[in-house]
Amino acid sequence: MTAVGIDAVEIWTGNLKLDLPGTFAPEKGEDPEKYTKGLGLNASSFPDSYEDIVTMGANAAHRLMERKGLEPDDIGRIDVATESAFDNSKPVSTYVAGCLEQVYDGDFHHANKGERKFACIAGTQSLDDAYNWIRAGRSRGRSALVIATDTALYARGDDGEATQGAGAVAMLISEDPNLVELSAEQGYGSADETDFLKPNQQFPSVDGKRSVQVYLARMREALEDFESVAGEVHEEDFVYAPFHTPFPGMVRKAALLAYRHVIRDTEIEDDLATEIGRQPRPEAFDSDDEYRDALREYMDSLKRTDRYAEWYEATIDPTLTIAREVGNWYTGSVHVARASALKHALESDREMTGKKLLIGSYGSGAQAEIHSETVRDGWEEEITALNIDEQLAERYEMTWDDYEEIHDAHNHEMDVDVEEFTTPSEEFVFDGWGRMGERKYRYVE
């Protein structure tokens, strides 16, 4: 079977930066270490006043098409995953295509366009759609453009305000891909949950503490489901495990649970038993409470072992490097984590061809999905082409007053006119409203 997967990736960050320990924490009267150590975040990316989900998505897609020497005829699908859409009918992908048609001679009239919604997991679902479309033999040799783009802003004063972010990831899905091949096997954990939702509103209603528990529960189900089709997952099977990263502290919690799961009934559990005992099994306890207390104690001890720390340092921490500087990008987040991991491999001269990644996607509401990816021999070329470090360094750093102004400007319910903080160059920008309330865009040379 010919490999199908991600041929190329591009990341586009919002052009503004909010320093969390330096600017946000003092205004909130909080210890900066809550951000750097607790949540694991240094900064959030924000969109400038001329940026939105369309400009960021189109800019990422444009960079990708230019780099790969693609023309519109090479693309048979444009799928946009977002939970920040501003229209209940016209999909963001039509706006993105309209932007790209301003800078290419051809058009996307024969490409299927759509918009995917399921909180943050929609980005991965769009990858699946593209994969299935190619596997079904419907692509006519063309590739799919998948764009995950969000302005992940929370209402002022919401606990989630600390974890905001804005940016887009564009991915080209093709046969015989350069970057990674997607596994046919997938595992799901899905349930009707009320933890994070946006009932026709721009900023989410969130039960933050509960959302953390739901993330962990659905992710565990997805891992078990994945194992039921792909076989047991072991510590040494995967070089990196990029997970959906609303904030790195969330992944720290998920990683510990995942590690406990994958070492159960293995030599690693036996080796660790002399130091911290064996994992508690429910059948050995009279009540759920006793079992849970024992489990908590075991997890606390496991976290402190050298073996776990080394695994975390090698397999999880490298997936969080970009997230630490940009915050939550919702649909793009797990795809940023993958890029972060491969960037780490490149920078540490690690040979990755043929090696595996375990991808954990998640969306509130709620659904988790686990699949694996095999790194392809063009990965170095693709990751070398990323310019995310330059983009991050060039962001304008906002003062607290700047932040208050720009936050309101991105609230769809408010009509706020804010001067731009940065000067756009070689990118699409928002250019005002049309006669039917549509958004207009132009390319700035």
**Residues found near ligand HMG in the complex (CB under 6 A):** 31, 33-34, 37-39, 83, 119-120, 159-160, 162-163, 196, 206, 208-209, 211-212, 215, 244, 246-247, 249-250, 328, 330, 362-364
Based on CB atoms, which residue is closest to ligand HMG, 139 or 245?
A: 245
Q: Report how far apart, in Å, the C-alpha atoms of 173 and of each of 66, 94, 132, 200, 211 are.
A: 16, 19, 11, 31, 31
- The Cα 395–Cα 18 span in angstroms is 9
Based on CB atoms, which residue is closest to ligand HMG, 91 or 363?
A: 363
For residue 388, what are the contacts with CB-CB under 8 A and spacing of at least 6? 11, 13, 322, 339, 343
Residue 412 beta carbon to ligand HMG: minimum distance, rounded to whole angstroms = 17
Nearest to 325 by CA among 165, 205, 209, 171: 165
Q: Both tokens of residue 51?
A: 């940026």
- Are 329 and 152 in contact, with CB atoms under 8 Å apart? yes
- The Cα 150–Cα 53 span in angstroms is 5
Q: Both tokens of residue 232?
A: 């047991």
Q: 83 catalytic, yes or no?
A: yes
Based on CB atoms, which residue is closest to ligand HMG, 142 or 410?
A: 410
Choice among 10, 51, 83, 427 that is catalytic: 83
- The Cα 219–Cα 257 span in angstroms is 10
- The Cα 153–Cα 95 span in angstroms is 21
Choice among 51, 120, 221, 369 that is catalytic: 120
Q: 120 catalytic, yes or no?
A: yes
Residue 99 beta carbon to ligand HMG: minimum distance, rounded to whole angstroms = 25
Residue 134 beta carbon to ligand HMG: minimum distance, rounded to whole angstroms = 26
Based on CB atoms, which residue is closest to ligand HMG, 76 or 189?
A: 189
- Are 205 and 374 in contact, with CB atoms under 8 Å apart? no
Residue 433 beta carbon to ligand HMG: minimum distance, rounded to whole angstroms = 27
Q: Nearest residue to ligand HMG, using CB?
A: 38
Based on CB atoms, which residue is closest to ligand HMG, 230 or 370?
A: 370
Residue 39 beta carbon to ligand HMG: minimum distance, rounded to whole angstroms = 5
Choice among 244, 335, 371, 410 that is catalytic: 244
Q: 99 catalytic, yes or no?
A: no
Residues with a catalytic annotation lie at 83, 120, 244
